Amino acid sequence: MEENLAKKRLYSAVQPTNALTIGNYIGAINNMVALQDEYDCTYAIANMHAITVRQQPAQLRANTLSVLALYLACGLDPQKCTLYVQSHVPCHAELAWVLNTFTYVGEMERMTQFKDKSAKHADNINMGLMDYPVLMAADILLYKADVVPVGIDQRQHLEICRDIAVRFNNVYSPTFTVPEGIYPKVGAKIADLSDPAKKMSKSSENPAGTIFMNDGRDAIIKKFRRAVTDSDGEVRYDPENKPGISNLLSIYTVFTGKSVAQAEAEFAGRGYGDFKSAVAETVADALAPVQAEQARLLADKGYLDSVLAEGARRAYKTASSTLAKVYRKIGFYQL
Ligand code: AQP
């Protein structure tokens, strides 16, 4: 499969920082799968982003294959989309360097994720952590993406990517496609089960509030049973006043395909205990076949490597042509 000129281009990525969560699934992967027929899709495993916080090398390597196997197990089809590892395409680092010269230090200091991660990793506030949005802009712009499906937590980074692209285009001539974000209608920000004010995150210090895609049935049921709710007893979608219940409703509707109204009607007059059990059973049932398929794929390293080799080849073709254009425009002497 080569670049499809008839379709709009789409780019998204996930960091192999840990086992993924149902937040990553609902906010990103679910949409990535749904959109793979409609768009010309490129999906990365963002290991260069991952090292902005300290990683165990062996674990990072293992997580990289794990994310690929999960992509495939969730239904991404390597015949339809390009699946690759970010560090296999050197153009990302090269374009990020150029884009750094179009980005202001003050803008990066204001990024919410930089502030959050600086607080969390106070002993390692490295330049990469601050430069994360510029590398992300390079990722997206290299593939001329028209659209980027991400969770709401990435909105600020996507806005800065658009600003950098417009800035560059204004200084030279139109070079970059300015991308639009696609945010899920439900579940754009799945909350931590034990603290609904916090985003569910794969590197949270409190795994009790996080459902990992590889959690077993017992762990899933236990975590949902302990999910923080409220005292009014009504299963109703009201994110402001009932964040815990609304979060569970988002999770339930995504995994069942039911609407919020249908789910509210289903649990009208029933207690939170019933509702939590139903959400837990639904998620456990949905994840079991994905986990089995992921395990089967992980046992076939030869196949996974072949998907990544083909993905890197295709990704490099598009990325290197964008980079060559940028180098020409900015006046880098070419041989
Ligand atoms: N809780 C969430 N709800 C909805 N979407 C989410 N995403 C992450 N958490 C949620 C979306 O998942 C995609 C991949 O995220 P990432 O790997 O780039 O890292 P992240 O956004 O920083 O997610 P994590 O889980 O919190 O990772 P760590 O702990 O490594 O920082 C993105 O599209 C994101 O929006």
pLDDT in tens, 157-181: 999 999 999 999 999 999 999 999 9
Kindly write down the DSSP assignment for every residue of 239-292, as one continuous string.
TTT-HHHHHHHHHHHHHH---HHHHHHHTTT--HHHHHHHHHHHHHHHHHHHHH
The string of pLDDT tens digits covering residues 192-203 is 999 999 999 998
Q: DSSP assignment, residue 122?
A: T
The pLDDT of residue 125 is above 80: yes
Q: Which residue has the higher pLDDT, 2 or 89?
A: 89
Residue 70 CB: number of other CB atoms within 10 A? 27
Statement: residue 152 has pLDDT above 90 = no
Q: What percentage of the chain exceeds 90 in pLDDT?
A: 90
Q: Say what the pLDDT of residue 204 is.
A: 85
What is the per-residue pLDDT for 159? Answer: 97
pLDDT at 4: 62
Give the residue, by CA position, lying nearest to ligand 1 atom 22.
201
Confidence (pLDDT) at 145: 98
CA dihedral 98, 182, 196, 256 (to 10 degrees): -140
Cα(169)–Cα(172) distance, rounded to whole angstroms? 5
The set of protein residues with a Cβ atom below 6 angstroms from ligand 1 is: 14-15, 17, 21, 23-24, 26-28, 150-151, 153-154, 188-190, 199-203
Angle at which helices 155-171 and 112-120 cross, to 10°: 130
Mean pLDDT over the full length of the chain: 95
Report how far ligand 1's centroid is from the alpha carbon of 268 (Å): 32
Q: Which domains does the chain have, with CATH numbers?
A: 9-183+300-330 (3.40.50.620), 207-295 (1.10.240.10)
Contact call for residues 250 and 244 (beta carbons, < 8 A): no
pLDDT digits (tens, 9 = 90+) for 3-22: 566 899 999 999 999 889 99
pTM: 0.93
Binned at pLDDT 50, 70 and 90, residue 29 comes out as: very high
- What spacing in Å lies between the alpha carbon of 24 and ligand 1's midpoint? 5
117 is catalytic: yes
pLDDT of residue 205: 83
Note if 222 is an active site residue: no
Catalytic-residue membership of 202:
yes
Residue 206 pLDDT level (bands cut at 50, 70, 90) = confident
Report CA(20)–ligand 1 centroid distance (Å). Answer: 9
Do the Cβ atoms of 99 and 335 come closer than 8 Å?
no
**Nearest Cα residue to 272 out of 251, 250, 254, 249:** 249
pLDDT tens digits along 248-292: 999 999 999 999 999 999 999 999 999 999 999 999 999 999 999
Of 202, 223, 242, 276, which one is the catalytic site residue?
Answer: 202
Sole residue written with tokens 């780019």: 11
Is the CB of residue 153 less than 8 Å from the CB of residue 189?
yes
Residue with tokens 């360097």: 97
- Confidence (pLDDT) at 1: 55
Closest ligand 1 atom to 18 CA: 30
